[in-house]
């Protein structure tokens, strides 16, 4: 009887998922209390309300020309400024992403189990070292890398690119290593069985099977790096964030929305592109 | 096989010609290579300037002096001195900042998840048709097109929420609300609400249709289907996404403080402004610690729900 009970326990009314949901709600309530929040703080003061209404009104009529009375002589038309800022945002993102790929792919290979299979045990210490390095790279946000580089080197655009590339290389390496481990192994094993060396089997058998996944994921990360590059502008680099912050402090909210819409449009295009790429590569 | 050896080259060439080709993939590859090359040679990325003498001096001072804990610069290196210094900083700022950062991300992701659950049915193209799960052409006719428009509008709204970086949202909210924790909570909740809403919508669109169809045949309304079928059936997936996004939230909550909200970033920014780079690096290291804590919580929670 006891044994039957143990095996055929009726499903508990709550269950693990229910318990998880309850824990989330409780943690949120605790956070509310710990942060000392009140709903009253959500009502902006007089100045804040003014900003809020003007800002959100600007969403419906983004600026097509500069706002404000004084425009520095010799400035290009507003929409050209927007396009140039967008172009620089993409330039930073592309440079950072290419750097991240150059480092992320070999690190991903070294972090994967697929690479170290059938190699002497002790060489695995290198795998552990690589995985630790990747985790550290990833756990410092790109903006914090940027702040550190600003302190150590001053304002330099290459340093900004490296700041994005460091955590992105870590993330790419982590996900790449997982994808390499999940890639179908039969081709590589077939090559091994007809006498290919491990390196050859890896390069010609395993890697090609994983490439579609790797490429699709790398493109998705490019989307993310565009947003990161835009935000770096808040620190003085000439990307979208710089212009956004400048227009916002000058109270030119309609200009802010033009920059935001430029970013949103880029996101939409890249997302559609990414989806089309994924359909052709992965499905 | 060996007799065919003379032809191998030709055979390989023929195989190569017959391989599947996609103009779309080829164009994408060309665009990527061309634009990346342009990016590096546009003059925008000042690789050379990084190695100018003044910058290198800067770097040397930073590494050999600035980041050495302040009391150790005169006394010389001592473990006790370093521990005292770090302990003092932890008491004054460290613990408080770490906890605030964690609580901000917890509340933000909970709000984002709640929002995504509410918006999820509206983002599901298979539920929002003339006659969900029963018709093949549920988006035909005036009514069908109206339903389709509703889904597209919801999906566009979600893109709008997530395409604006949380940092930009926080920048705007800071001006409106002043420096309360709400600024970071709202910014993270809005951005992640957009992401989770889309992921949850995709999840319920990809559910097995048959149980949903039978519910509909028994006369269940869209709301009833959402509550008794979409939610429980999609929940495992949704919880996975939820905890993945929680990891990102912890990272971003740290950084939003740079704007002036009381999280770790605030103290990092303050230390930078005062050029106390030793303190700055210790606080960045605390950021690493809470990111690792967040990843660990997320990993444990995902393992726990997966076994359910």
- Does the residue B177 lie in any domain? yes
With an 8 Å Cβ cutoff, is A108 touching chain B? no
Residues 6+ apart with CB under 8 A from B174: B183, B259, B260, B261
Residues in chain A: 283
Q: Is residue B144 part of a domain?
A: yes
Write out chain B residues lying below 8 Å of A227, CB-based. 163, 165
Q: Is residue B63 part of a domain?
A: no
B102: in domain: yes
Give the residue from A49, A153, A271 with the most B CB atoms within 10 Å of its CB, the best one to mutate: A153
CATH number of the domain that B268 lies in? 1.10.3720.10
Residue B97 to residue B88: CA distance in whole angstroms? 14
Q: Which domain holds residue B107?
A: 93-306
Contact B308 A16 (CB under 8 A): yes
Residue whose token pair is 């996004």: B245
Instruction: State the average pLDDT over residues A119-129.
Output: 86
Of A30, A151, A157, the CB nearest to B44: A157
B63 interfaces chain A, CB cutoff of 8 Å: yes
The whole-number average pLDDT for the span A103-107 is 96
pLDDT digits 0-9 by tens, B58-91: 888 887 777 777 776 766 667 777 777 778 777 7
Mean pLDDT in chain A?
88
Phi, psi of A43 (to 5 degrees): -85, 115
Tell me, yes or no, whether B164 lies in a domain.
yes
pLDDT per residue over A128-140, tens digit each?
999 999 999 998 9
Interchain pair B287, A141: CB under 8 A:
yes
Q: Find the closest chain B residue to A30 by CA distance.
A: B103
B197: in domain: yes
Tally of domains within chain B: 1
- Tell me which chain A residue has its CA closest to the CA of residue B287: A140
What gap in Å lies between CA B185 and CA B169, rounded to an integer?
10
Searching chain B, which residue's CA lies closest to the CA of residue A32? B107
The answer to whether residue B48 is domain-embedded is: no
Token pair in block for residue B103: 């609580």
Taking the C-alpha atoms of residue A245 and residue A231, their distance in angstroms, rounded to an integer, is: 10
Q: Residue B20 domain-assigned?
A: no
B29 touches chain A (CB under 8 A): no
Residue B260 CB contacts under 8 Å (≥ 6 apart), including other chains = B174, B179, B266, B269
Structure tokens at B72: 């150790």
pLDDT > 70 in chain B, percent: 96
Predicted confidence (pLDDT) per residue in B167-183, tens digit: 999 999 998 888 889 99
């Amino acid at each position: 009887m006891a044994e039957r009970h143990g095996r055929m326990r009726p499903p508990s009314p709550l269950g693990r998922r229910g318990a998880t949901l309850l824990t989330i709600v409780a943690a949120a309530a605790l956070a509310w209390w710990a942060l000392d929040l009140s709903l009253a703080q959500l009502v902006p003061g007089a100045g804040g309300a003014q900003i809020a209404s003007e800002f959100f009104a600007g969403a419906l009529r983004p600026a097509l020309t500069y706002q404000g009375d004084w425009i520095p002589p010799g400035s290009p038309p507003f929409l050209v400024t927007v396009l140039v800022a967008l172009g620089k945002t993409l330039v930073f993102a592309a440079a950072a992403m290419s750097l991240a790929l150059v480092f992320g792919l070999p690190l991903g290979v070294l972090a994967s189990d697929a690479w170290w299979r059938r190699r002497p045990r002790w060489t695995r210490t290198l795998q552990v070292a690589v995985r630790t390095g990747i985790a550290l790279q990833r756990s410092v946000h790109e903006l914090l890398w940027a702040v550190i580089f600003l302190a150590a080197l001053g304002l330099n655009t290459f340093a900004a690119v490296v700041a994005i590339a460091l955590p992105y290389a870590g993330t790419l390496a982590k996900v790449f290593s997982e994808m390499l481990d999940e890639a179908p192994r039969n081709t590589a094993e077939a090559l091994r069985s007809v006498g290919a060396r491990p390196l050859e089997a890896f390069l010609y058998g395993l890697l090609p099977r994983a490439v579609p996944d790797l490429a699709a994921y790398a493109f998705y990360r490019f989307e993310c790096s565009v947003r990161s590059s835009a935000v770096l502008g808040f620190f003085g680099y000439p990307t979208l964030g710089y212009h956004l912050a400048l227009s916002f402090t000058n109270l030119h909210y309609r200009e802010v929305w033009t920059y935001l819409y430029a970013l949103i449009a880029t996101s939409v295009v890249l997302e559609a592109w990414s989806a089309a790429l994924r359909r052709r590569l992965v499905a | 096989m060996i007799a065919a050896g003379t032809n191998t080259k030709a055979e390989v060439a023929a195989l190569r010609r017959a391989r599947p080709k996609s103009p779309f993939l080829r164009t994408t590859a060309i665009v990527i290579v061309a634009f990346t090359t342009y990016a590096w040679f546009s003059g925008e990325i000042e690789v050379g300037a990084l190695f100018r003498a003044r910058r290198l001096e800067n770097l040397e001072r930073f590494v050999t002096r600035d980041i050495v804990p302040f009391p150790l610069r005169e006394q010389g290196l001592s473990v006790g001195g370093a521990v005292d210094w770090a302990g003092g900083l932890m008491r004054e700022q460290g613990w408080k900042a770490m906890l605030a950062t964690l609580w901000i991300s917890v509340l933000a992701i909970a709000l984002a998840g709640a929002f995504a659950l509410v918006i999820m049915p509206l983002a599901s193209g298979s539920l929002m048709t003339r006659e969900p799960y029963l018709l093949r052409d549920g988006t035909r006719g005036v009514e069908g097109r109206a339903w389709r428009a509703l889904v597209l509008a919801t999906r566009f709204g979600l893109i709008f929420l997530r395409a604006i970086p949380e940092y930009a949202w926080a920048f705007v909210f800071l001006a409106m609300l002043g420096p309360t924790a709400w600024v970071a909570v709202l910014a993270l909740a809005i951005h992640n609400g957009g992401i989770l809403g889309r992921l949850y919508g995709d999840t319920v669109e990809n559910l097995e249709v048959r149980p949903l169809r039978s519910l509909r045949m028994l006369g269940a309304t869209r709301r009833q289907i959402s509550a008794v079928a979409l939610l429980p059936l999609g929940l495992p997936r949704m919880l996975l996404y939820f905890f993945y996004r929680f990891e990102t939230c912890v990272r971003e909550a740290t950084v939003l403080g740079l704007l002036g909200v009381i999280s770790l970033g605030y103290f990092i920014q303050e230390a930078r402004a005062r050029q106390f780079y030793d303190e700055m690096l210790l606080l960045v290291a605390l950021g690493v610690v809470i990111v690792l804590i967040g990843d660990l919580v997320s990993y444990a929670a995902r393992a726990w729900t997966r076994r359910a």
